[in-house]
Amino acid sequence: MLIDARSLPSGTTRRADVCVIGGGAAGITIALELAGSGLEVLLLESGGEVEEPDTRDLAAGESIGRPATTLDSPVRLDQMRLRYLGGTTNHWAGFCRPLSPIDFEVRDHLAVSGWPIGPADLEPFLARAAEWVRISDENFDVATWEERLGLATPKLDSAAIDTFTYQLTFPTKFGELYRRDLLDADDVTVVLHANVVNLATADGRRVDGLDVRTLTGTALRVEATAYVLAAGGIENARLLLASTDADPAGLGNGNDLVGRHFTEHLQVYAGFGVLDVDPSELVGYNGGDVTITAGRHAGSVHGAKFALGLTDEHLREAKTTGMEIQILPSSFPAGAPVQEEGATMADVAALLGHTGAMPASSVYLQGLAEQELDPESRVLLGSATDALGMRRVQLDWRYSARDRERALDGYRIAAEAFGAAGLGRLQLVPGGIHADALADLVPGEWVSAYSSTPSEIDLENFVIGMGFHHMCTTRMAADPSEGVVDADCRMHEVDNLWVGGSSVFATGGVATPTYSIVALAVRLADHLTTVLR
Ligand SMILES: Cc1cc2nc3c(=O)[nH]c(=O)nc-3n(C[C@H](O)[C@H](O)[C@H](O)COP(=O)(O)OP(=O)(O)OC[C@H]3O[C@@H](n4cnc5c(N)ncnc54)[C@H](O)[C@@H]3O)c2cc1C
């Protein structure tokens, strides 16, 4: 059932077994996984079914740390997460990959690392998560995907770098895709335009109820046996910090960890390359489509593509962080980009013996790099307030010179392996490449929109964009002095409050997060069913 909070009389109290805050990827998955479990579920969503400017403004805030950009264009906080049914899946790019085993390990060379669960704890939920995100299945094995796509990918003779598979789902907007299921579920009620502004508590050990407001002035109370906070990686922290009934530091924040360790995938736009092989040999990096053969979405089509990534073995040995690199077909003019040393595309092509007209065989490199967790990188509350009187977010995103160096090292390793395999020459041009028509870029399509500005090549200060994968702000840890939630995603300090979404990630890794967010959501729904029945 779908109802609108604005149509309820002010002062109404609604009750449920489970109340989920936020109707994005995590919240919708949890609510629908609980459907039919015998538990009465309320899903409170701040927005309606389409984007509305007044609600969007509730997500606005201030960036006070590293600038949030995509390439070199600034991105506002209310652009990088969406506030209506379906949440940020209303404009995600749909890249799916599971976390790697190393992401879960304690890595002594990092200041903060290690999950209290391992890959085997998530593995039983990956097949159901694959259905929810609408990809073929939980199999990401490269050989399987070469067969399914009918596309080979060149093998690199390197222990440090290997080929990985992404499954791409498009456009998988959870609100639109699962609207019918939410309507049909007898025991799930979605309340739209319901903004949670406070998790009310007398003693800080239990949530007694939620204070809910609409922008039209309706005030509601919601009471449940169990609460799940699934409002997104930034808003989860904001709501906890803003819930000060028992402690001015916020709810569940006795160890001053809520909002800390904010981490991102560093988007690094680093270089270009000229191929020494026919571009068709690398077409797997651009990907292809497959039809889903079984399950809820049988018959629908989705994509898959390959990318390069540092191997877990290399990360352990070199004591470094993760890095994935996409090789995107492109076409640069012969005179550009220009490397720091002055080499143009034509010069690089000449190294490979190409003379005369430039071959239509250039590529563009774009990577996602893991950053090391830093407690000073964090979500804070500012002094400005929104239309509901809640303090707006201040985002103090930090990354270090070491993070930057590690990302560049990843590119160098990729370039060496690429050259050694005889595929072509990759050149690093960090900071010197711009996407001219970013709005037109569609994942999986050939891209020819890049230009370069040689004077901006800067190995120490090159532009790093944000991946928009806000993680670790309520990180999972066995020890309450190291994290906010336990291995079951339950708040260490609050008995009846669980958290969904990438805020519970213990480290960011390098895989795009939503597939893992959904796997954790499926796991959490099973856990709630067990403990509440
Ligand atoms: C441009 C872009 C591209 C992306 N591409 C990818 C990709 O390719 N692969 C990938 O894995 N991830 C990608 N992501 C990230 C992905 O969108 C998120 O990981 C995912 O949407 C997070 O799910 P969530 O449910 O935790 O949060 P969200 O989807 O953000 O949902 C949170 C929901 O909570 C609601 N809410 C917030 N506050 C309140 C409140 N106080 N009361 C009630 N409701 C509230 C919001 O309205 C929203 O509906 C991308 C993100 C962006 C911005």
Please determine, for residue 356, whether its predicted confidence score (pLDDT) is greater than 60: no
| pLDDT at residue 454 is higher than 70 | no
For residue 237, name the pLDDT band (cuts at 50, 70, 90). very high
* Binding pocket residue ranges, ligand 1, CB within 6 Å: 21-27, 44-47, 80-81, 83-84, 87-89, 91-95, 195-196, 230-232, 235, 239, 468-469, 501-502, 512-514, 517
Cα 325 from Cα 27, distance rounded (Å): 30
The token pair that represents 270 in the structure block: 């680093």
Between CA 58 and CA 47 the distance in angstroms is: 10
Determine the pLDDT at residue 462: 79
CA 518 to centroid of ligand 1, rounded, Å: 11
Tokens of 460: 């120490």
Higher-pLDDT residue of 344, 390: 390
Are the C-beta atoms of residues 145 and 306 closer than 8 Å to each other?
A: yes
109 secondary structure, DSSP code: T
CA 54 → CA 51, 271, 378, 392, distances in Å? Answer: 9, 40, 26, 14
Measured distance CA(115)–CA(519) in Å, rounded = 15
Confidence of residue 341 (pLDDT cuts 50, 70, 90): low
**254-277 per-position pLDDT tens digit:** 999 999 999 999 988 777 788 888
Strands in 386-452 per DSSP E: 391-396, 424-428, 433-435, 450-452
Task: Tell me the two tokens of residue 215.
Answer: 């922008």
pTM: 0.94
pLDDT at position 446: 37
Take atom 47 of ligand 1 and give the residue whose Cα is closest.
Answer: 83
Which range among 294-298, 347-351, 375-379 shows the weakest confidence by mean pLDDT? 347-351
Q: Which domains does the chain have, with CATH numbers?
A: 2-532 (3.50.50.60)
Cβ-contact 519, 129 below 8 angstroms: yes
Residues 6+ apart with CB under 8 A from 364: 271, 272, 273, 327, 328, 329, 330, 332, 433, 447, 450
Distance 147 CA to ligand 1 centre (A): 33
CA of 31 to the centre of ligand 1 (A): 16
For ligand 1, the distance from its centroid to the CA atom of residue 23, given in whole angstroms, is 9
pLDDT the model gives residue 89: 97
Return the residue whose CA atom lies nearest to atom 35 of ligand 1: 22
Per-residue pLDDT at 448 exceeds 50: no
Q: Which atom of ligand 1 lies at the shortest distance from residue 28's CA?
A: 25
Residue 432 Cα to ligand 1 midpoint, Å, equals 30
* Adjacency order of strands within the sheet including 391-396: 61-63, 391-396, 378-385
Atom of ligand 1 nearest to the CA of 94: 8
Distance CA 485, CA 498 (A): 8
